[in-house]
A and B are shown apart, each in its own frame.
Chain A
Amino acid sequence: MTPYVDPDVAAALRGDFSLGIFFRLGTDPALHLSLSLNDVPIYIPGLDDEDMVYTGAGRLSSIPDLEVLVNGLADRVSFELNGLDLTQGDLIYDDAPDVLGAVVTVGMAPLDLRWQPTTTIIPLWTGSGDFVRLDCPPEVDRTKPRTIALQLETSAGDTSRMLPQLSTYTDASQKALYPTDTFFSRMARYVPGLNVAWPRF
């Protein structure tokens, strides 16, 4: 079996390295951003065409702690694009594609000494888009310009804030759909955290 991450790449990542971080939002058409300043011709195998170019978005102000993201500690992440002026922001906001449920992929590719990606993008984190919001906090310091940020809220798993979440299945809801089904009839006994003893026969 071929390893997911090439051993040479893994070795390269152990020391000092330069890293290309790539962001893909699976709207239609998809959004491809590279966190470097320059446009990078690279692709995610299986998701993109091979001649894809990721647009340089070094102006993206922050990527949330990637480690937290990748190690699964963060449920929800917001990506932020800073330094827009109000007109641009309005334009993007008005014309924003429907991001709800769009697949968000964050991946990386180590770069060699000449800044060339040594692999295709290795996807690290997958989530789904929730909503886009425009943030324009008032700036009290008059020497500083007012900043506008466009944020994309994303979530992993079932932590979406846009859809009602069923916290638990109830016997009543199941009976409403399937009147004769008694599968959940003893649900009340199983509270979270209760260790149910496995029956012995």
Chain B
Amino acid sequence: MPYPELSLELLPPGRMSAPEVVGGTIEGGRTLNGFGPVADISGGGYVTIKYGAINIDSNDPARYRYYQQLAAMLAGGRRSILVPLLTDFTAPLLAGDNLLGHIPYSDGALHSDGSGFNQNPIVAAMGANAALNAGTLSISVERGAPLYGGEWFEIAHPNKSSRAYTITDIDSSSSVGTTITYIVGIRPTLREAVSITDFVNFRRPRCLMRVQGRMQLEVTPPWQARPEITFIEAFP
């Protein structure tokens, strides 16, 4: 069964904790200098994001309904959902491109409802095969701005669904024509092996996640709420 996808249009967050990779570290205790050695046994950590101040107002029961549907469906983490990570600000977008792809006809005309064509403006693919748990990837960007590190991207794995990764290092880059191939370090490590030419999505990457804790809806009259949802990466 395909996983449902969270709609940020229906639950627009007013605030968020940006996506982060969290790992478990064990501190070795305080030394004379005051800081302790740190050991990490998480092997790379997991992705987490928090959407807060979600705007549920009184003139749209659809949002209210959607939130309740979501709360019942996700059942406190029993079921997983594809969560789009709001990383639009740092996406490697060429100047003049629109992230959400309102592309007009060649004469500049839009459709009658004001929308254009929807196409991912950042075209990138795997530049080489990578094994399970790999920490270094080769990514070929055919169309898009240069990578600097800190960008988030999504790889849609056949078995483990979509997973989000962030770039920690840029080791090297080489260009063939307009395609630039980067060797990058990523975190967390690869959830499933990928093949060369597999698509790499930099536009609002999605990650398979589950909710952490309850999805309580504190409602103030008239039917207004500003709930907060914490998502953590799911390992079904």
Contacts and interface: CB of A to CB of B under 8 A. Distances in A.
A34 B44 CA distance: 12
B235 A115 contact: no
Contact of A41 (B45, B76, B133, B136): B133
A97 interface: no
Contacts of A115: 43-44, 133, 135, 187-189
Contacts of B191: 38-39
B90 to A, nearest CB: 21
Contact of A19 (B40, B131, B136): B40
A145 B38 CA distance: 31
B41 A114 contact: no
Contact of B44 (A15, A37, A53, A59): A37
A59 B41 contact: no
A111 B132 contact: no
Interface in B97-152: 131-136
Contacts of B40: 17-19, 111
B39 A114 contact: no
Interface string A114-158: 111000000000000000000000000000010000000000000
A15 B43 contact: no
Given A37-B188, A38-B43, A115-B43, A56 B132 contact: no
Nearest to A59: B235
A34 B136 contact: no
Interface in B201-236: 233, 235
Contacts of A113: 185
Interface size class of A (residues with CB under 8 A): 20 to 34
A20 B188 contact: no
Contacts, number: 78
A16 B41 CA distance: 12
Contact of A38 (B24, B39, B133, B185): B133
B193 to A, nearest CB: 9
A36 B43 contact: yes
A179 to B, nearest CB: 57
> Which of under 10, 10 to 19, 20 to 34, or 35 or more describes the interface residues of B?
20 to 34
Contacts of A16: 37-39
Interface in A158-200: none
Nearest to B46: A37
A14 to B, nearest CB: 9
Contact of B43 (A40, A53, A145): A40
Nearest to A21: B41
A43 B43 CA distance: 16
Query: Most chain-A Cβ atoms within 10 A of its Cβ — which of B39, B133, B134, B185?
Result: B133
A113 B42 CA distance: 13
A45 interface: no
Per CB-CB distance, the 6 closest pairs between chain A and chain B, nearest first, are A36-B43, A114-B135, A18-B40, A115-B44, A115-B135, A115-B189
Interface of A: 15-21, 34-41, 53, 56, 58-59, 111-116, 145
